[in-house]
A and B are shown apart, each in its own frame.
Chain A
Amino acid sequence: MRYAEWCIAAPTLEADIAAAAMGLDDIGHSRVLYGSLRELGTADVPDEPGSYANVPYLDRPWTDWTAFVAANGVLDSAFTLMIEALAGGNVEVLRSRLKKMLQEERYHAMHGRSWLRESRAAVAVDQARRDAIVWIGPEAGDVDDLHQKGILSLGVRELRRRLDEQVSGAPASTPIDWKAWDPVRRRVVPGGIDELTLNMLQGLAEKRYMPAGA
């Protein structure tokens, strides 16, 4: 969704198109993930503002291209590492279904890596890296538990190590307050998506433009 907001605002026409394409890829990936969860018997989460488990980095629209670059280079990489861990785990539905997603994410990673080299995005990268670490969660928490059960092929330490490997630069210096960690929404700070974006996600914005009686 945030990628799509940049499809007419990126620095070059090619980057515009890539933003739109990556946004579409990620919508497709969400559909596959939700479909897989349903198949595995997970109950649907009510579509309410407080139930969105997005990282804080996505709470508000990005106001600078470097914010896009850091999301693409860091957060997208963290999400992909988790998908890799699921695809390498012992749940058959996920093992077979997530392969295409990883192929497409390869291009997101190339795009992110190159733009990270091209941009002075250190501030945004620091924030994105922090959100990614918090999203992965604390050691000996749910992710490590799933790793022990074989559902994830990677644990927290390995996920963090691989993320650091992909994102050069010094890791975030200020410690994370894990006591404030919400294991459902996977964040340490309150807040959520802005209302305008939420309206779009829930289809309310489209309804406003629908002809009367349709």
Chain B
Amino acid sequence: MTGKYKRVSGDAVEYEVFARKTRGEPLHQVGSVVAPDDDLAAAYARATYDEERWVEMMIVPKAAVIQLWAPGEAEA
């Protein structure tokens, strides 16, 4: 069914999805989505991770996350 479909821009990026169930609870990473822009990433995040009663949900482009250290690396 999708044979004729051609994507205009091939640049999809990864977004991390964060949410919390109560105001006092810290944000948790609940998953990630891949999309070419913020609009679609938001729509995908909501469609994919809406099974719980979150009071707050947000997405962050993975490229915007600055890693301080990774597993196995010593703290700088």
Q: Does A14 reach chain B (CB closer than 8 Å)?
A: yes
- Proximity string of chain B (19-56) to chain A, C-beta cutoff 8 Å, 1 when within and 0 when not: 00000000000000111110110111011101000000
Smallest CB separation, B39 vs chain A (Å): 4
Q: Which size class do B's interface residues fall under?
A: 20 to 34
Smallest CB separation, B28 vs chain A (Å): 20
CB pair B5 A114 closer than 8 Å: no
Residues of A within 8 A of B43 (CB): 18, 107-108, 110-111, 114
Q: Does B67 reach chain A (CB closer than 8 Å)?
A: no
Option from A63, A110, A120 in Cβ contact (under 8 Å) with B6? A120
| A121 vs B66: C-alpha distance when bound (angstroms) | 38
Q: Does A52 reach chain B (CB closer than 8 Å)?
A: no
Task: Name the residue of chain A whose CB is nearest to the CB of B6.
Answer: A120
CB pair B37 A11 closer than 8 Å: no
| A118 vs B12: C-alpha distance when bound (angstroms) | 11
CB pair B39 A110 closer than 8 Å: yes
A-B interface, 3 closest residue pairs, ranked by CB to CB distance from nearest: A21-B47, A114-B40, A111-B43
Known: A18-B44, A110-B42, A114-B37. 17 other contacts (CB 8 A): A6-B1, A10-B2, A14-B34, A18-B43, A18-B47, A21-B47, A64-B1, A65-B4, A65-B5, A110-B39, A110-B43, A113-B39, A114-B36, A114-B40, A117-B8, A117-B37, A119-B5
Residue ranges of B at the interface with A (Cβ–Cβ < 8 Å) = 1-2, 4-9, 33-37, 39-40, 42-44, 46-48, 50
